[in-house]
C-alpha cells in the first residue's frame, strides 16, 4: 500500500507536467486545427532558458520560471507568424510538414548552440522530504512545488479563457473563425495570443521537468510531446 501511494504521488507530479504540455497542444489545435509538433521543442527551449538563467545568471527558481515562460511565449508567437500563418489556407499535409520542419529546426539549432550533451539542471528546490505514516511515505518538496504551480497555472488559464474578453474571443474563434471576424474580433491577434499562452505553459513545463529529473538535453521535447 505504501509503495502504491508513493508511486501515486510521483505520478501526480509527472502527470502535472504532461498536463501543461497537453494544454498548449489542445489550445492551438482548437483554434487552427493544427497539431503543433514544435510544441515539444518549445518545452525543451523553456528548460534550456531556465538552465541558463539559473546556471550563468544565478537566478532563483521563480524568476527563472517566469522569464522562461515569457521567452517561450515570444518564441511561440514568432513561430506562428513566420511558419504557420502563411500555411493557414494550405492543405493539411503541407501544414503538418511545416510543423515537423519547425520541430526539427529547433532541435538541431539547440544542438548546435548548446551541444547535444545532457546537462545537469541545478537543484533549485530543497531536497527536504515530508514523512507520513511513520516514514512509510516520503513526499519530496519539489513534487509539492510542481503540483501547486501546475494548479495555479491551470486556474489562471481557466480565468483567462472564461472571464476575460480575449478568452471569450478565443472561444468564439475556436467555434467559427468567419463569424468571429464578422463580429469584429481580430482573429490574427487571438491566434497569436493562443500560441503565446500555450507556449508559456510549455516553457513552465520545461523548467519543472528540469527540476524533477535534474537533467535536460536537446531531444527531450520529442517523447513528452507524443505522450501529451
3-state SS record for 114-165 = HCCCCEECCCCCCCCEEEECCCCEEEEHHHHHHHHHHHHHHHHHHHHHHHCH
| pLDDT < 50: residue spans in the chain | none
Answer whether residue 185 is part of any domain. yes
Confidence (pLDDT) at 118: 93
How many domains does the structure of the chain reveal?
1
53 lies in some domain: yes
Q: Which residues pair with 138 in a beta bridge?
A: 131
Residue 199 in domain: yes
Q: What pLDDT is stored for residue 1 in this prediction?
A: 60
Distance CA 214, CA 159 (A): 32
Q: Please state, in angstroms and rounded to a whole number, the distance separating the CA atoms of residues 203 and 124.
A: 16
Residue 227 located in a structural domain: no
Q: 67 is written with which cell numbers?
A: 522569464
Q: Is residue 228 part of a domain?
A: no
Q: How far is CA 2 from CA 8, 74, 134, 147, in A?
A: 10, 44, 11, 20
- What's residue 227's pLDDT? 66
Confidence at residue 96, expressed as pLDDT on a 0 to 100 scale: 87
Instruction: Determine the pLDDT at residue 88.
Output: 84
Decide: 214 and 123 in contact? Cβ < 8 Å: yes
6 located within any domain: no
Torsion from C-alpha of 42, 43, 45, 50, nearest 10 degrees: 140
CB 61 within 8 A of CB 221: no
In a domain, 95, yes or no: yes
Q: Give every CB contact of residue 34 below 8 A, 6+ residues apart in sequence.
A: 28, 84, 95, 96, 99
CA pair distance 81, 60, nearest whole angstrom: 32
Across-strand partners of 131? Answer: 138
120 DSSP β-pair partners: 215
Domain residue limits at 100 = 15-221
Yes or no: say if 84 and 214 are a contact pair by the CB < 8 Å rule.
no
Please return the burial class of 91, using the count of CB atoms within 10 Å of its CB with bins 0-12, 13-18 and 19+.
exposed
In a domain, 10, yes or no: no
- In angstroms, rounded to a whole number, what is the distance separating the alpha carbons of residues 123 and 63? 15
Amino acid at each position: 500500500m505504501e509503495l502504491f501511494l508513493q508511486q501515486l504521488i510521483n505520478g501526480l507530479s509527472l502527470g502535472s507536467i504532461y498536463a501543461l504540455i497537453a494544454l498548449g497542444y489542445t489550445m492551438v489545435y482548437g483554434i487552427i486545427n493544427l497539431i503543433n509538433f514544435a510544441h515539444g521543442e518549445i518545452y525543451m527551449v523553456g528548460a534550456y532558458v531556465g538552465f541558463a538563467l539559473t546556471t550563468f545568471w544565478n537566478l532563483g527558481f521563480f524568476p527563472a520560471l517566469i522569464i522562461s515562460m515569457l521567452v517561450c511565449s515570444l518564441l511561440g508567437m514568432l513561430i506562428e507568424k513566420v511558419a504557420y500563418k502563411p500555411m493557414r489556407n494550405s492543405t493539411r499535409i503541407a501544414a503538418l510538414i511545416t510543423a515537423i520542419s519547425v520541430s526539427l529546426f529547433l532541435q538541431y539549432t539547440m544542438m548546435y548552440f548548446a551541444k547535444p550533451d545532457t546537462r545537469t539542471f541545478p537543484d533549485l528546490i530543497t531536497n527536504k522530504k515530508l514523512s507520513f505514516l511513520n516514514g512509510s511515505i516520503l513526499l519530496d518538496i519539489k513534487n509539492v512545488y510542481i503540483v501547486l504551480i501546475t494548479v495555479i497555472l491551470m486556474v489562471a488559464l481557466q480565468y483567462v479563457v472564461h472571464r476575460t474578453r480575449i478568452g471569450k474571443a478565443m472561444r468564439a474563434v475556436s467555434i467559427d473563425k468567419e463569424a468571429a471576424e464578422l463580429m469584429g474580433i481580430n482573429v490574427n491577434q487571438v491566434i497569436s495570443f493562443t500560441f503565446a499562452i500555450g507556449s508559456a505553459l510549455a516553457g513552465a513545463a520545461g523548467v519543472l521537468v528540469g527540476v524533477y529529473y535534474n537533467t535536460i538535453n536537446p531531444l527531450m521535447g520529442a517523447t513528452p510531446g507524443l505522450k501529451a
